[in-house]
């Protein structure tokens, strides 16, 4: 499989699994095309052309020739310089050929633009009953916070290392997060867990979460008790990073009773408790692993790949 095709297939799957709907994504891409058309020549020199087909600013080819063939992939939830050195060492000592390094979490320019994908959260909140103007205004504040937090980061370190070591590198963040969100929302809708203990049992039956239980990081109820009713469930696992901490009373007013998250900060959890929301932490690395596996399953429908797994990731295929 060509690197370019793997990347574009990941984007296609991310769009198909986006809870905003393909029609909304098409509208956003059309608006981007109009903005590009109106740019001055000096502005176009710095324009990222991937924006015209890829609505996920946190997912990009960061190094390597898009026309390169990919057969053996080293994949991790987190890829840093150490993991890249392992890839180089494997190529040198094992006589193998790591054709591509895949990171779930973004780096380089994709990390610096992480805040852009957070706009997705406003539409998700509206889907769950929050007034869109309220969602957008609260998220605007949080997006600004995240953007400023990312500004001083030395985001190019891993990309520089990949370039020096001659390793193609891609990060696939929101497409994978969309996959896990879509999967779990559909699963809970189908299984209709009555109590939080039933919801946790469903999670523990999924191989990626079963693995996290063995690693002593099980899904956990952190607000409410296991005997609480689930009510309406909001799977909150996409949109870059945690959203506005002042949104939880609005979520509750929209009819949601239970949040299922990858992780939650103490400030966010305190506000969720004030709003009398149940909160279940499914697990960060387990959820990311599930999302990346679901994404790779779709990619591998076109061509089977070989994987070397590290950085918290384990390749688990589904039929």
| Residues 202 and 77 placed together within one structural domain of the fold | no
pLDDT category at 35 given cuts 50, 70, 90 is very high
| Residues 44 and 192 placed together within one structural domain of the fold | no
Q: Domain for residue 315, yes or no? A: no
Q: Domain for residue 272, yes or no? A: yes
Residue range(s) defining the domain that contains residue 268: 179-283
| Residues 102 and 47 placed together within one structural domain of the fold | yes
Q: Domain for residue 140, yes or no? A: no
| Residues 155 and 228 placed together within one structural domain of the fold | no
How many whole angstroms separate alpha carbon 315 and alpha carbon 296? 9
| Residues 168 and 63 placed together within one structural domain of the fold | yes
pLDDT at 142: 94
Reported as a single tens digit per residue, the pLDDT across 223-247 is: 999 999 999 999 999 988 888 899 9
Q: Does the pLDDT of residue 193 top 90, yes or no?
A: yes
| Residues 263 and 301 placed together within one structural domain of the fold | no
Q: Domain for residue 138, yes or no? A: no
pLDDT at 274: 97
Q: Which residues of 148-183 are buried (b: 16+ CB within 10 A; e: fewer)?
A: eeeeeeebeebbebbeebebbbbbbbbbbbbbbbbb
Q: Domain for residue 78, yes or no? A: yes
Please, what is the angle between helix 207-214 and helix 284-299, to 10°?
150
| Residues 45 and 81 placed together within one structural domain of the fold | yes
Q: Domain for residue 188, yes or no? A: yes
E-strand ranges in 117-190 read 169-171
| Residues 160 and 30 placed together within one structural domain of the fold | yes
State which H helix or E strand residue 258 sits in. strand 256-261
Reported as a single tens digit per residue, the pLDDT across 44-60 is: 999 999 999 999 999 99
Number of domains in the chain: 2
| Residues 9 and 116 placed together within one structural domain of the fold | yes
Q: Domain for residue 131, yes or no? A: no
pLDDT category at 94 given cuts 50, 70, 90 is low
CB-CB contact of 248 with 277 (8 Å):
yes
How many whole angstroms separate alpha carbon 285 and alpha carbon 218? 11
| Residues 44 and 154 placed together within one structural domain of the fold | yes
Q: Domain for residue 242, yes or no? A: yes
Q: Per-residue pLDDT averaged across 47-76, rounded?
A: 97
| Residues 192 and 278 placed together within one structural domain of the fold | yes
| Residues 235 and 305 placed together within one structural domain of the fold | no
Reported as a single tens digit per residue, the pLDDT across 117-175 is: 999 999 999 989 999 999 999 999 999 999 999 999 999 999 999 999 999 999 999 99
Least Cα distance to 91 among 18, 143, 149, 165 occurs for: 165
**Chain mean pLDDT for the chain:** 96
**CATH code assigned at 269:** 3.40.1390.30
Q: Does the pLDDT of residue 43 top 90, yes or no?
A: yes
Q: Does the pLDDT of residue 95 top 90, yes or no?
A: no
């Amino acid at each position: 499989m060509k690197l370019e095709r793997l990347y574009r297939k990941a984007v296609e799957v991310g769009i198909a699994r986006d809870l905003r709907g393909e029609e909304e994504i098409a509208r956003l891409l059309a608006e981007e095309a109009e903005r590009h058309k109106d740019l001055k020549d000096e502005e176009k020199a710095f324009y990222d052309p991937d924006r015209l087909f890829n609505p996920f600013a946190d997912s990009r080819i960061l190094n390597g020739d898009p026309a390169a063939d990919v057969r053996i992939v080293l994949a991790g939830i987190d890829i840093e310089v150490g993991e890249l050195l392992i890839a180089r060492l494997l190529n040198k000592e094992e006589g193998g050929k790591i054709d591509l390094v895949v990171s779930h979490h973004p780096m380089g320019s994709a990390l610096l633009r992480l805040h852009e994908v957070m706009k997705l959260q406003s539409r998700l909140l509206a889907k769950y009953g929050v007034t869109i103007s309220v969602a957008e205004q609260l998220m605007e504040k949080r997006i600004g916070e995240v953007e400023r937090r990312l500004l001083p980061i030395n985001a190019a370190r891993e990309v520089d290392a990949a370039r020096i070591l001659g390793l193609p590198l891609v990060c696939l963040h929101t497409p994978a997060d969309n996959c896990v969100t879509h999967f779990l929302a559909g699963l809970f809708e189908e299984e209709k867990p009555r109590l939080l203990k039933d919801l946790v049992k469903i999670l523990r039956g999924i191989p990626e979460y079963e693995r996290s239980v063995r690693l002593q990081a099980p899904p956990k109820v952190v607000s409410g008790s296991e005997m609480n009713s689930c009510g309406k469930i909001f799977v909150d696992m996409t949109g870059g990073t945690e959203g506005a901490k002042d949104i939880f009373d609005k979520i509750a007013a929209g009819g949601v009773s239970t949040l299922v998250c990858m992780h939650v900060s103490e400030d966010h959890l305190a506000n969720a408790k004030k709003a009398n929301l149940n909160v279940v932490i499914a697990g960060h690395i387990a959820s990311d692993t599930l999302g990346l596996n679901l994404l790779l399953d779709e990619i591998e429908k076109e061509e089977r790949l070989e994987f070397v797994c590290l950085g918290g990731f384990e390749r688990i295929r589904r039929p």
